[in-house]
Amino acid sequence: MNFIKIILLTFSIIFVEGVASLSAQQENVCYLAVSIKDQSTIEEKAEEVFREIKIEMKFSNGMQKNWEQIAKELEFDSVKQMINVHKEDKNWNKYKEVFNKPQKFDQAIFLIKKKTENKFEINPSLVYEIGLSLVSRYITDVKPLPPSGIASDACIYNVLVTVTDDKIISTITAEDFNAYGESKKKGEDGVQASILKALYGSIKPKRFQICWHTHRIKILYILLGQF
């Protein structure tokens, strides 16, 4: 009986210690919140670009396609717009014959309308992943905010990314931490550079690691204050 009591007591102690350890781990969990503020005044318009493409001039049943159908395939808003774009192109003489006598061709080369994405647009999900990775690497392990919310006294690191016309500014704040960094780079590259600059200025013991992370030539940029 004494042996059984000892076994039960041992398991009880282990269980209590495990619960206490788990509770302590939960209390020490830190979370990350990232927000983006757009203060830029310059609106970057998507750039229209065109490339050549060969399309069928007839349907599979042999019937001739009308110009409305062809304009739709080439992603133009109207036949008039399609014709004007081709007229303004340096290769108009090549396209002109097709427009004048479409029935002569089974296939023909046209310009197709495409739009490039705004090159300065920032992806919020990617920005969050950048912040999560860098804060976890150089400050402390952080986790995404749970859908259920967190306690008012929970450990939380706030990353604010501010986009202006000529630079990206990142601030990192927590109860005992405050960092600021900026970069003239655009997009996600600028976000990463500004966060690294903030960390570099606030965590002196890890400056060498941060420099190594930013790859060779960027070390010089940091030291010159241009990164």
- What are the tens digits of pLDDT across the range 88-135? 999 999 999 999 999 999 999 999 977 555 445 688 889 999 999 999
- Whether residues 152 and 53 share a domain: the answer is no
Q: What is the largest distance, in Å, between two alpha-carbon atoms of the chain?
A: 105
Q: Is the pLDDT of residue 206 over 90?
A: no
- Note whether residue 83 is domain-resident: yes
- Whether residues 152 and 176 share a domain: the answer is yes
Total domain count, the chain: 2
Structure tokens at 38: 């757009």
State the average pLDDT over residues 204-215: 78
- Whether residues 129 and 37 share a domain: the answer is yes
- Note whether residue 20 is domain-resident: no
- Whether residues 215 and 142 share a domain: the answer is yes
Give the residue from 175, 217, 182, 185 showing the smallest Cα distance to 199.
Answer: 182
* Res. 36 pLDDT band, cuts 50 70 90: very high
- Whether residues 124 and 58 share a domain: the answer is no
Lowest-pLDDT range of 51-55, 62-66, 136-140, 212-216: 212-216
**Per residue, what are the HEC states of the chain?**
CHHHHHHHHHHHHHHHHHHHHHHHHHHCCEEEEEEEEECCCCCCCCCEEEEEEEEECECCCCCECCHHHHHHHCCCCCHHHHHHHHHHCCCHHHHHHHHHCHHHCCEEEEEEEEECCCCCCCCHHHHHHHHHHHHHHHCCCEEECCCCCCCCCCEEEEEEEEECCCCEEEEEEECCEEEEEEECCCHHHHHHHHHHHHHHHHCHHHHHHHHHHCCCHHHHHHHHCCC
- Whether residues 136 and 157 share a domain: the answer is yes
CA dihedral 56, 60, 61, 63 (to 10 degrees): -20
Q: Is the pLDDT of residue 21 over 90?
A: no
- Note whether residue 152 is domain-resident: yes
- Whether residues 140 and 52 share a domain: the answer is no
Domain that holds residue 83: 48-115
Q: Across all residues in the chain, what is the average pLDDT?
A: 81
pLDDT tens per residue, range 149-189:
888 899 999 999 999 989 999 999 999 899 999 999 988 89
Lowest-pLDDT range of 18-22, 94-98, 143-147: 18-22
Question: b/e string for 137-156 if b means 16 or more Cβ within 10 A?
Answer: ebbeebeeeeeeeeeeeebb
- Whether residues 37 and 75 share a domain: the answer is no
- Whether residues 158 and 76 share a domain: the answer is no
- Whether residues 134 and 179 share a domain: the answer is yes
Q: Is the pLDDT of residue 27 over 80?
A: no
pLDDT given at position 10: 46
Q: Is the pTM of this model over 0.85?
A: no
- Note whether residue 8 is domain-resident: no
Give the residue from 127, 133, 119, 120 showing the smallest Cα distance to 36.
Answer: 127
Structure tokens at 31: 């979370």
